[in-house]
């Protein structure tokens, strides 16, 4: 499949005009539900090798591609190549390309590959990470443990071609499990499933009580909230599970103490992911903003209620923001699609931003760049 679509660049850094759209369609045609990303990783490694990257697939299935001068600042472009389950037939209707992952987030990673192949004067390390759609972020955590810290990071997530994402809420998942002797339905004692429902409601009330005043932000970025996504049981046995979205600086330990203090039953936690936010003065944000403006648009800034690999990589403390084409409201839906024209606009934006960011990083002392990145406690 790849041989018939060799890139055939007319000169260094120039791709065939139809290549980005073809690459995204080809990537969408290779299913990559979390845990099953290897075929797509291998395909993308072949494509990056053809484009001139030094490419490989690592021990956990992440695909890596490095390109650019070895003595230049390194910008990591990290997107995720796994998707949630569910089929969206791959097809194009006019300018719209449909397929699972077109928005979240194969479109963003194709943008990164194509922009990196066109960029000069900056060293780019592109990573297609696995396991972002499930608890643990296995791919991004492996990158943190095995790859030298870059000078800056762009996370591949849908922000819209003219938008930049400054932050993501954190997450903790709380599970409840209990067993008790069966009761007669006439007993005044709560059944097991009633106890589970009451526990879940208490946790939700606790989270709501942390922010008594309404948040005018439609994303409610500063508000903690719990969503009951599983409740099952009967008179004797019950399970419940809450996924909780929390703001930067959230006290996970206090929540766990409350949750455990409301019951003698088993409580378990799947992950604790701190929220993250960056300022508009962050060098990555600034250069993306300037590149969007250079394309004739007014940049928009977003913070999201979900999580991403930006949360995972934030401890690096380097300049960082999230960027990619697509409407995030289509994430995980049966209508997931992306305008091809938006894909090309995003490639143009990132192509402009990368060398500018590289020059900025080369001119600024590392400590200064990291200081400008801000921290998860700073407001945007």
Residues involved in catalysis: 82, 132
DSSP labels, 177-195: EEE-----TT-SSPPHHHH
Cβ(321)–Cβ(285) below 8 Å: yes
Q: Which of 83, 81, 87 is nearest to 133 (CA)?
A: 83
**Cα(203)–Cα(52) distance, integer angstroms:** 52
**Cα(65)–Cα(45) distance, integer angstroms:** 7
Residues in CB range of 278: below 8 A, 6 or more apart: 166, 167, 284, 285, 319, 320, 321, 373, 374, 378, 380
DSSP labels, 237-279: EEEEEEEEEE-TT--HHHHHHHHHHT-SSEEEEEEEE--EE--
Residue 249 structure tokens: 């600086």
């Amino acid at each position: 499949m790849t041989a018939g679509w060799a890139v055939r660049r007319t000169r260094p850094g120039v791709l065939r005009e139809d290549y980005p759209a073809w690459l995204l369609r080809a990537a969408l045609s290779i299913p990559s539900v979390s845990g099953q990303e290897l075929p797509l990783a291998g395909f993308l490694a072949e494509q990056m090798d053809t484009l001139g990257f030094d490419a490989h697939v690592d021990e956990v299935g992440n695909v890596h591609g490095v390109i650019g001068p070895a003595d230049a600042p390194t910008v990591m472009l990290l997107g995720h190549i796994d998707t949630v389950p569910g089929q969206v037939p791959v097809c194009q209707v006019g300018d719209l390309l449909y397929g699972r992952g077109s928005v979240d987030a194969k479109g963003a990673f194709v943008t990164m590959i194509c922009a990196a192949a066109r960029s000069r004067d900056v060293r780019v390390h592109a990573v297609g990470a696995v396991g972002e759609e499930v608890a643990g972020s296995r791919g991004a955590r492996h990158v943190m443990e095995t790859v030298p810290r870059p000078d800056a990071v762009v996370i591949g997530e849908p922000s819209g071609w003219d938008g930049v994402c400054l932050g993501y809420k954190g997450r903790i998942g709380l599970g409840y499990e209990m067993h008790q002797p069966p009761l007669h339905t006439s007993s005044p004692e709560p059944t097991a499933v009633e106890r589970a429902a009451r526990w879940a409601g208490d946790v939700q009330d606790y989270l709501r009580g942390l922010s008594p005043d309404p948040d005018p932000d439609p994303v409610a970025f500063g508000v903690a909230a719990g969503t009951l996504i599983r409740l099952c049981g009967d008179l004797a046995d019950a399970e419940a599970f809450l996924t909780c979205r929390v703001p930067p600086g959230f006290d996970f330990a206090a929540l766990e103490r409350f949750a455990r203090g409301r019951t003698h039953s088993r409580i378990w936690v799947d992950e604790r992911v701190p929220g993250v936010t960056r300022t508009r003065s962050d060098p990555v944000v600034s250069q993306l903003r300037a590149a969007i403006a250079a394309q004739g648009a007014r940049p928009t800034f977003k913070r999201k209620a979900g999580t991403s690999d930006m949360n995972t990589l934030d401890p690096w403390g380097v300049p960082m923001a999230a960027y990619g084409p697509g409407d995030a409201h289509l994430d995980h839906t049966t209508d997931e699609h992306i305008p091809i024209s938006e894909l090309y606009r995003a490639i143009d934006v990132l192509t402009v931003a990368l060398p500018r960011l590289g020059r900025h990083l080369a001119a600024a002392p590392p400590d200064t760049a990291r200081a400008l990145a801000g921290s998860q406690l700073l407001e945007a």
